[in-house]
Structure 1
Amino acid sequence: MSGAWVLLIFGIVIVSTMMLLLHLTKLGHIVHCHIPDRPRRRLFVATVAFLATFVGVRLLVLCITHSIGPFGWVMMGGRHIHHLVWGILILLAVGYAWLADLGSGNSPTDIFVNRLLASMYGVGAALTLDEFALWLNLRDVYWAKEGRSSIDAVIIFAALLGIGAWGSPLLHHFFFKRKHTKKIQDADCE
């Protein structure tokens, strides 16, 4: 199976799973009731998609390098196209969509688009940062010692996403000893 198809299918599975979980399960209701909308909910969705994609891509690359399964590199014209290229393209598309204000309203369609874009952002960021060492060294050092910088970049970025999603309320609750007040967004969250 062509690497491009595997990567495309993988990305679609991650985003589809996120969307199904957020819209059709009790988890979506819990997220809706306990994580305030924009920007925290968008950061939460991006964080989960980012971490799932990172783990999945690392496993996929491991399978390719050890000839496990039908997977292969993405090749075009005899040239290996690294997955950071697809990540950059996804990030450009999401950035353009956000600049065009897609998903910024409160209709069900806008909420769906907002979550879809957040999921895609997480996927694109993971594909890009997983090969951070390639940017830094300008050569493929994925499994070499220098490749550790990719792991460091992923950890730092995941921490930033997590801090954006959960940091402020936790800091205020634990460090500033302010009373934790829960805002009920909808009557059905009680």
Structure 2
Amino acid sequence: MGHWLERNIVEPGKLPLLLALTAFVLTFLITRVITRLIRAGKGPFGNVSTGGVHIHHVVPGVVLTVVGGFGAVASGRHGFVAGLCAVVFGMGAGLVLDEFALILHLDDVYWTEEGRKSVEVVVLTAALVGLMLAGFSPFGVNDVTQEEAQDRGGVISSVVVNFLFAMLVLLKGKTRMAIFSVIIPLVGLIGVIRLARPGSPWARRFYRSRPRARARATLRAYHRDKRWSGPRRRFQDLIGGKPDPTPSLERR
């Protein structure tokens, strides 16, 4: 284990990234545990307020992110300070993205259906950083050979092609695939080949006069959402807690 860590993490200069990812995940999990205890009225924890204003944990998260980010830029990639800044940055990012939905909606939607976005973004961020830690580079530059890497034209061409793939996938309404295709070009290729989601810009433009393709896209999206929406919601509830029922459901 020590040899693997030295060879694959320390020598390539990825230790700060590993520390940041670890701090990010742990901070998010600990924060969720504390907020769930507060919600249940258990434990010694409580909401922080000053002058009648509820201080959300995104506020210290922004401070930690700024301090850690600027500190990392100033310290370089190696040394104790760089590692410490990476931890501070990861903690701040964990606090900020835990309330991503609040920032997106400019409202306290932490325990609502809209609040699920925070959990989704955190999981997505952790997965992408994990892929980068494993050696994947954005836009498939890691797939370029050493000879091609010395040729700027080859690198630029690879970046442009993979960027276009990512944009096409995004136009097809497949946001998650588009994000992952930035790291893994094969995902982008699969997304380009597959049908677009109904309602996406691609479907509105190219399926308007193709009723068969429009029907196939709608049917595929229905079966996919039906298959994965349940497991995805249960996974989000396990990590972040179950949202409060909506008023319409309470009346029923």
TM-score by length of 2: 0.51
Which residue is equivalent to 1:54?
Answer: 28
1: CA distance between counterparts of 2:20 and 2:66? Answer: 15
Aligned partner letter, 2:109: V
2:81 aligned with 1:113 = yes
Distance 2:112 2:35 in 1: 14
Q: Which residue of the partner structure matches residue 83 of structure 1?
A: 57
Aligned-partner Cα distance in 1 for 2:114–2:21 = 25
User: May I ask how many residue pairs the two structures share in their alignment?
Assistant: 142
Structure 1: tracts of 5 or more residues without a match: 1-26, 177-190
State the one-letter code of the partner of 2:17: L
| Paired position in structure 1 for 2:133 | 165
Cα deviation for residue 94 of structure 1 reads 1.4
Corresponding residue to 2:115 among 147, 154, 160:
147
- CA positional deviation for 1:166: 0.8
Q: Matched residue of 1:35: which SS? A: helix
**1:78-106: per-residue Cα shift (whole Å, max 9, x none)?**
1111001111111111122134x22x275
Q: How far, CA to CA, are the matches of 1:157 and 1:50 in structure 2?
A: 10
CA distance in 2, matches of 1:76, 1:29: 50
**Unaligned stretches of 5+ residues in structure 2:** 145-252
For residues 60-71 of structure 1, what are the structure 2 equivalents within 5 Å?
A: 60-71=34-45
Cα deviation for residue 155 of structure 1 reads: 1.2
User: Which residue is equivalent to 2:100?
Assistant: 132
Match of 1:156 in 2: 124
Q: Which runs of 4+ in 1 moved over 4 A?
A: 27-30
C-alpha contact 2:72 2:86 (8 A) present in aligned 1: no
Considering Cα pairs closer than 8 Å and 6+ residues apart, tell me whether 1 or 2 has the greater RCO: 1
Q: Which protein is bigger by CA-based radius of gyration?
A: 2
What are the Cα deviations for residues 5-34 of structure 1, in whole angstroms up to 9, with x where unaligned?
A: xxxxxxxxxxxxxxxxxxxxxx77763344
Displacement of 1:157: 1.0
Residue 35 to residue 141, structure 1, CA distance change in 2 (3 Å): same
**C-alpha deviation, 1:122, in angstroms:** 0.9
Deviations for 1:135-177, whole angstroms, at most 9, x for unmatched residues?
11111111111001101110111112112211439xx9xx99x
Quickly say closer, same or farther: Cα 1:40–1:105, change in 2 above 3 A. Answer: closer
Contact 1:40 1:164 in 2 (8 A): no
Considering only aligned residues, what root-mean-square deviation do their CA atoms show, in Å?
2.7
